[in-house]
């Protein structure tokens, strides 16, 4: 599968999350999709897991979002795909990207909200690539005031 097709998948996940179009986002993910967010704690000397979902629990979480009190404005994910490395058998590819999450508030002020990497595993066994696993490794640890949606 062409690298451009895999890159397009990664960018599409960002665009669908930016728009909070969660169904189209999940349509880009495999049935055994797994999503997690980690951040390294210098205070503890170890990684902290901040979100850890399979597809079903991700669906449940996304379904409840409209009922929550949330930060006003919108988020934009600025993603740059660094590496696309297909496995030897051609069944999957590991993809590393940087991600900047930028928040624009309701009066139009934009600020960097979080910085990190996507460490993705892409399933290449079907006609179109699907996101099988996403590990978000955040550099940012102060996500003031917090975020309800996946990075």
Partner 1 sequence: MAKTAVQWVARPRLPDDHYVSSTIYTDPNIFQEEHQKIFGHTWKFVCHESELPLPGDFRTVEHVGKPLLVTRGQNGSIQTFFNACPHRGAKLVNEPRGNAKNFTCFFHLWSFNNQGECVSITAPKGYEECGLTPKDCGLRKVKTAVKLGMVFVNLDDNAEDFEKNVGDIMACLEEPMGTVPLEVFHIHRVVMKCNWKQWHETNMEAYHEWGHVVNRTTGIVADGYNEMLTVVNENGHATVKPPKPLEIKYDKYKGWDKREANPLPGLTASEFRVVDLFPNTTIILRATTLRIDTCIPVAPGVTILEQRGLGIKGESPEDRAERVKHHNQYWGPMGRNISEDVLFVEAVEATNRAGTSEYGILARRQGGKGQDDEMMRAYYRVWARMMGRKASDPHGQNS
What residues make contact with partner 1 under the rule CB under 8 A? 37, 39, 41-46, 48-52, 56-57, 59-61, 63-64, 67-71, 141-148
Nearest approach in angstroms of CB 2 to partner 1 is 34
d(CA 33, CA 31): 6
The nearer residue to partner 1, 108 or 126, going by C-beta atoms, is 108
- Whole-number Å distance between alpha carbons of 130 and 119: 14
Find the shortest distance in angstroms from Cβ 81 to partner 1.
24
Closest by CA to 16, choosing from 27, 8, 7, 24, is: 24
What phi-psi label fits residue 136: left (phi over 0), alpha (psi between -120 and 50 degrees) or beta? beta
Question: Please, which residue, 12 or 59, has the CB nearer to partner 1?
Answer: 59
* Rounded CA Rg of the chain: 15
Q: Minimum CB separation from partner 1 for residue 4, in Å?
A: 31
Nearer to partner 1, 1 or 143 (CB): 143
């Amino acid at each position: 599968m062409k690298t451009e097709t895999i890159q397009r998948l990664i960018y599409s996940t960002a665009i669908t999350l930016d728009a909070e179009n969660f169904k189209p986002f999940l349509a880009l993910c495999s049935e055994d999709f797994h999503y997690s967010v980690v951040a390294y704690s210098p205070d503890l000397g170890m990684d902290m897991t901040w979100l850890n979902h399979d597809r079903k629990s991700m669906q449940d979480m996304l379904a409840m979002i409209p009922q929550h009190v949330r930060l006003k404005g919108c988020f934009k994910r600025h993603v740059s795909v660094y590496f696309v490395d297909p496995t030897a058998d051609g069944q999957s590819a590991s993809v590393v990207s940087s991600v900047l999450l930028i928040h624009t508030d309701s009066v139009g002020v934009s600020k960097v909200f979080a910085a990190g990497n996507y460490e993705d595993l892409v399933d290449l066994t079907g006609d179109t690539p699907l996101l099988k696993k996403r590990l978000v490794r955040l550099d940012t640890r102060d996500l003031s005031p917090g975020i309800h949606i996946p990075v």
